[in-house]
A and B are shown apart, each in its own frame.
Chain A
Amino acid sequence: EVQLLESGGGLVKPGGSLRLSCTPSGFTFSSYTMFWVRQAPGKGLEWVASISDTSFWIYHADSVKGRFTISRDNAKESLFLQMNSLRAEDTGVYFCARGSRPRGHEGGAASVADSWGQGTLVTVSS
């Protein structure tokens, strides 16, 4: 069974930093693209960042570019999101998700998020 467990969330002051982690199980982590997606309280889903299986391709949303960095360690089977210069509007639940390319969806730039963790809450407040 595919499982993803996020950790590292918490309360941080504006301008502060946090590092989120995502620990996978039940699949070969090094073979999959991974995502971070966030959700502000009472709001919709917002794609944050993507990283390919070998870290060759990395994308960040404009809203976090220059402040957040997605990375992975395939040897230690972990996904990370380093968040710096945090703002109140970064508050929300952060989900990690696994990306796959099922038949019929091979050609798009992004994979399909087929498995998700339960999320970790980040609160940015003074």
Chain B
Amino acid sequence: DIQLTQSPSFLSASVGDRVTITCRASQGIDRYLVWYQQKPGKAPKLLIYAASALQSGVPSRFSGSGSGTEFTLTISSLQPEDFATYYCQQTKSYPVPFGQGTKVEVK
């Protein structure tokens, strides 16, 4: 089974900061990597699929990159509404686990 490791688990940042979150897969998954955002008490929201494709309606300050085993989610200029938890998920093969999550907190 493919495992995902996200880092960091917690991140303190300020509005306007550039934020980068990493997701590493235990084996190659091509570009079958998805990123979600979840706010407390809410359902997850799809941000990025195919490693770098922005879901419709998602602000362009979000971007994704990577292929194979290493992927990144970048927020170019953190906004107040971006404080949330971010999860990656691989969809290359079943089972399709999520990473453990990265909580982006106010510094």
Question: Are B92 and A108 touching (Cβ within 8 A)?
Answer: yes
Does A67 sit at the interface, judged by CB under 8 A? Answer: no
A50 touching B46 by the CB < 8 A rule? Answer: no
Binding site for A on B (CB under 8 A): 30-32, 34, 36, 38, 42-46, 49-50, 53, 55, 85, 87, 89, 91-101
Residue of A nearest to B94 (CB): A59
**Contact at A109–B92, with CB atoms within 8 Å?**
yes
**A interface residue numbers (CB < 8 A to B):** 37, 44-47, 50, 59, 61-62, 95, 97, 102-105, 107-119
16 contacts between A and B (CB under 8 A): A44-B85, A44-B98, A44-B101, A45-B36, A50-B94, A59-B95, A103-B50, A103-B53, A105-B34, A105-B50, A107-B30, A109-B94, A110-B93, A113-B89, A114-B49, A115-B46
CA distance A62 to B43 in the complex (A): 23
Chain A residues positioned under 8 Å from B36 (CB to CB): 45, 113
